[in-house]
Amino acid sequence: MANKRLFGTFGVRRRANEVLTPEFASKLAAAYGTLVKGQVAVGGDTRTSTPMIKHAVLSGLLSSGCHVIDLGILPTPAVQYAVRNYYDGGVIITASHNPPHDNGIKFVDADGIGIPDDMEEKIEDMFFDENPDRVPWDEISEVETSDIIDEYIENVINRVDADAIKDAGLKVVVDCGSGAACFTTPYLLRKLGCQVTTMNCQPDGFFPGRNPEPTEDNLQDLINAVKNLGADLGIAHDGDADRTICIDENGAFVFGDKTFALVEKYMLKENKGGLIVTTVATSQAIYDIAEEYGGEVIATRVGDLLVARALKENDGLFGGEENGGLIFPDFVYGRDAALSTAKIVEIMAKEKKPLSKLIDELPSYRSEKRKVECPDELKVEVMEKIAEVTCEFEVDTTDGVKILTEEGWVIIRPSGTESIFRCFAEAKTEEDAKKMAEWGIKLVLEQLKS
Ligand code: MG
């Protein structure tokens, strides 16, 4: 949203103690507290700056008259779970997969979903006009603490076939990247009877073992550990434990869209159909599986928050993104790494097949991601021209322009944060995917010249 001054796609994310100072955090939280005026739960990830920012947030909330509950260090979805079940609002201190010097503040509503744009704009107005409510001295509450993690883990276990998982006795290597999952995933998998080996499962805001973003490059130690230990599965999370990435029994990195498709297939089978929500940048495999197993698909603009909202509004069954973020709306209205992990081991246990085999059975597509530079001020014009010159094709303009052909599709979108266009293509063969992506790049360059 161009008119938003502080918030990105989901919250505020900045360098800790430069822009994101205690003063900034406290005032922003007071503005949020002014709108909520109720019981607000606060939690955060393992970053070095999280305690500092959290205390400022607690002060701001108390000052505006909220009753606050400190949930400690825990995954983002565990805060969302707590808020949905017990509180009027929530604040999460996290920068997800960003480098250690960053931190961020996410606000959620009483359902645990990221707050809507109009509420963000109200918070910004109050922030800049300096008029959050400040209650009189005798209306300031105390800080309550609450430990929700055990309950959260129990509720994840209740949503899967724990006996089947226990019988399978799977050998799993878990790499939490020293992030918030240190407090959940190893315990969850042990309770489910898995043989767990941990790495980077000591909480540490310097992220000494690896970068908090679970990319293939960053997960080489996990890949080696899975191979060397002869494990059935490797599991990795991002810093705030809302995303799960899998390594198969051969040490192969499983792309997020594959995990999404695998879980989609079993959710649809288990529930005999249902509504799936994803973004326009997600694989055709999601549609193929929906067709085969009685599902229906809605595609939103890119962003996990938009998927979560569409799931709630349409009473959807399951949703996700191609980056490995899966949403189970009857549990948490946001990506949840713990339930994703439990679902994946459940599928392996019940199907009695190795992960590589389960992935091989899914519809197969190849994708290609490219980017091309474009000055910010020209983005709108370039986008309009691309829409004009591609009108002879089948196009979807939910987010940017997605062109669909016999061979596959390419989506061309301006980046919201960088001076680039992203071209993401998918086809049955690698050659076609590359061709489609090239075509997207060419379209951007041609409009830039004209
Ligand atoms: Mg995250």
- Span 400-420, average pLDDT: 91
Q: How far is the CA of 177 from the centre of ligand 1 (A)?
A: 12
Amino acid letter, 119 = M
Reported as a pLDDT band with limits 50, 70 and 90, residue 324 is confident
Residue 450 has pLDDT above 90, yes or no: no
Residue-averaged pLDDT of the chain: 95
Residue 11 has pLDDT above 60, yes or no: yes
Q: How far is the CA of 138 from the centre of ligand 1 (A)?
A: 38
Residues 6 or more apart from 176 whose CB is under 8 A from it?
A: 182, 185, 186, 198, 200, 201, 236, 237, 241
Residue 137 CA to residue 128 CA, distance in Å, equals: 24
Residue 426 CA to residue 265 CA, distance in Å, equals: 20
Residue 153 has pLDDT above 80, yes or no: yes
pLDDT tens-digit series, residues 222-261: 999 999 999 999 999 999 999 999 999 999 999 999 999 9
Whole-number Cα distances in Å, 205 to 96, 227, 247: 12, 28, 24
> Which domains can be identified in the chain, with CATH numbers?
12-147 (3.40.120.10), 151-252 (3.40.120.10), 256-339+352-360 (3.40.120.10), 367-449 (3.30.310.50)
Q: How far is the CA of 413 from the centre of ligand 1 (A)?
A: 22
Whole-number Cα distances in Å, 337 to 35, 91, 363, 438: 30, 19, 24, 34
Q: How far is the CA of 311 from the centre of ligand 1 (A)?
A: 19
Tokens at residue 99, please? 């480098």
- Span 336-342, average pLDDT: 98
Q: Is 413 exposed, middle or buried (0-12, 13-18, 19+ CB in 10 A)?
A: buried
pLDDT value at position 43? 98
Task: Give SS3 for 253.
Answer: strand
The answer to pTM > 0.85 is: yes
Total residues belonging to the chain: 450
End-to-end CA distance of the chain: 27
Q: How far is the CA of 95 from the centre of ligand 1 (A)?
A: 7
Residue 1 has pLDDT above 60, yes or no: no
- Span 378-407, average pLDDT: 93
Residue 437 CA to residue 427 CA, distance in Å, equals: 10
Residue 229 CA to residue 217 CA, distance in Å, equals: 20
pLDDT value at position 2? 43
Task: Give SS3 for 393.
Answer: coil
Other residues' Cβ atoms within 10 Å of the Cβ of residue 202: 12
Catalytic residue list contains 96: yes
Reported as a pLDDT band with limits 50, 70 and 90, residue 9 is confident
Amino acid letter, 96 = S
CA 268 to chain centre: 21
pLDDT tens-digit series, residues 63-99: 999 999 999 999 999 999 999 999 999 999 999 999 9
Reported as a pLDDT band with limits 50, 70 and 90, residue 4 is low
Reported as a pLDDT band with limits 50, 70 and 90, residue 3 is low
Q: Are 51 and 17 in contact (CB under 8 A)?
A: no
- Among residues 96, 178, 283, 340, the one annotated as catalytic is 96
What proportion of the chain, given as a percentage, has pLDDT over 70? 99
What proportion of the chain, given as a percentage, has pLDDT over 90? 93
Closest CA to 401 of 363, 450, 449, 447: 447
